[in-house]
Structure 1
Amino acid sequence: MFAEVGFYEPWWMQILKSIAIFFVVFNIVPLALLADRKVLGRFQHRYGPTRVGPFGLLQAIADIGKLVFKAQFRPAGANGWLFAIAPVISMMTAAATIAILPFSDVVDIFGTKTGLYGVDPSIGILFAFAFGGISFYGLMLGGWASGSKYSFLGSMRAAAQLISYEVAQGLSIIGVIMMASSLSLTEIVHWQESNFWMVGPQFVGFLIFLVAGFAETNRPPFDLPEADAELVGGYNTEYGGGRFAAFFAAEYLNMVVVSGLIVTLFFGGWDIPFWDQPNWIEPFVVIAKMCAFIFFFIWVRATLPRLRYDQLMSFGWKILLPLATLNALVTAILVVVLD
């Protein structure tokens, strides 16, 4: 990895970066939760949390603390080992995907060259999809190991939904990969710096990736695996305390991950057109763009009702998948003709 870009990163810097990534990851969840409640409150003509801490800023910390310190329990008919490991899988796969998001190019820290990302494998985007596929097992095991019919139905819905929309989501970025001629997320950002943001020529791919992202994160209007009116609570019905908090945190982390991938793949990452910004400002540019999409996720949740399950599946297979295939085909033709 580092030989390709012409520098070597010492082991102590990699350890510091790992600590920083986990520190950021475990602080993102309460911030995203607080933003969700505050913004939803404004959309619904109410204030949201106001009591705990100044302006209610500590409400999310209080909610997470309440869940973490609750006594753990599980149903008598549950598979104990699988029941316990399911939320861990969901949490760790979401955190691992954040590690590949590039927040800046190579910078000088304490006289040492380092990249402001956890890792930058040459197949970075495949790395993200691989962990997204593993996270599917967390939802499946959580519902199946609970020994509850409602949880099992929720996990089956999650399986069908994730498989359906991952296909379209994967096809939607093929155009980006062909234009940038790379699977590395940092190389894709460099291409956009030298040319133009991918959202222009790949606008159809962007829309497909965005819609599939809602389905991948189980956010409304695609929150069928957690449909409370039909399944009580879905795959996490039998969970409580810290294990429920882990599922909850994974959902918000996935929202952050999808926002980061959209920014990196389609909106130039740390790039600001027509301005050669200094390195120190690049992470703040990425975070600002991600916050804009997190706000959009919350806006959609406050606006659109939940789809029926048959509508969800029909939309994925009959509309998104053909569109994503057609977009990849047209891009391939244009890349060959214009090259």
Structure 2
Amino acid sequence: MVCLCLFLTHHRSFSYLLVFLLSADCILLEAKLGEIDCSLDYNVTSKYQKNTAEGIDSPMLADDCLNLTVANLDKNLEQFELDNKIDEMKSVLNSLQNLQFTVKWFEVVEQIEDAFTGLKVLAFDENCIRLSLKTYMPTFEGISYLPRIEATVDAAELNYELLIEVFEGTMRLKNVQVFPNDIYVNDIVDTAKLVSKSSLQWFIQKVQDRIILSTLRHLVVKDANKSRYSLEYLDKDKTIVAHMAGGIDAYIKLSHGWPIFGSPLKLICIKGSDDLKRTSLSFHCKVEKLANSLDTHIRQNISSFVDAVEKVLMEQLQLDLRVGDNSG
């Protein structure tokens, strides 16, 4: 079966012809099964009616009981042979239908390869398909608020492999693994499962978009690191953690499409340090409110936003300390 599949992958015109022939064979086989079923029903019914009529008109047939028994045995044997023939033809029909589905699946694979540059089918079996996915990083010129990070890009193309598992007899996604697994795609998989009209083409396009966005975010975060603080990007949570002086961590939520689109960042919480642990909940809420009310152009850039968060936090800590001293 694998050899046939590999042959079909490189001989598209032959696969189309095979689909046509398989469809014709299936239709012909189903018609033959119908004829056999009808013939069997007719033979059984006609013989029963004949025997019944003869029994009513000729009550003296009791002497021919032996002949009737032999006839019944012949009839049962004939029915048994027909049943076996029907089972064999059904088995052949199922095999043809399975082969037809495999050919159609390869047609889908060919459509995927045609739709995307850099996509290659590495392996294929009944329920799984392994793809090599080459994604090309775009250029970022013309985006004023995005730091110039082209020099930090190690490669213009990003190479991944996808192991896609589908439910048997369908093209619906069951599970997906990405190698290397440094990007989070579970949310895309969940969406593909829920949306009935989603396709492999749609899923692969979404994965490529995620690869580009995730790689870009890692590069921007790496470029924004300073001696005063370090930044960490959490792909699953779509969050940047700023590790600042004094053991303070600021958790910053990324808006959809950042940094490609100029949507502002949002401070969601601050943690760590003994000074912060002594502060009240209202203190944390005030710091978050002040940080998230800064000008949009400040919150679009991760470096300027972390600098501003750090400044707001220090000011509020000093103010809280003075208030505590005065109340004491």
TM-score (norm 2): 0.23
Q: Which has the larger radius of gyration?
A: 2
If the length of structure 1 is used for normalisation, what is the TM-score?
A: 0.23
Identify, as 1 or 2, the structure richer in strand.
Answer: 2
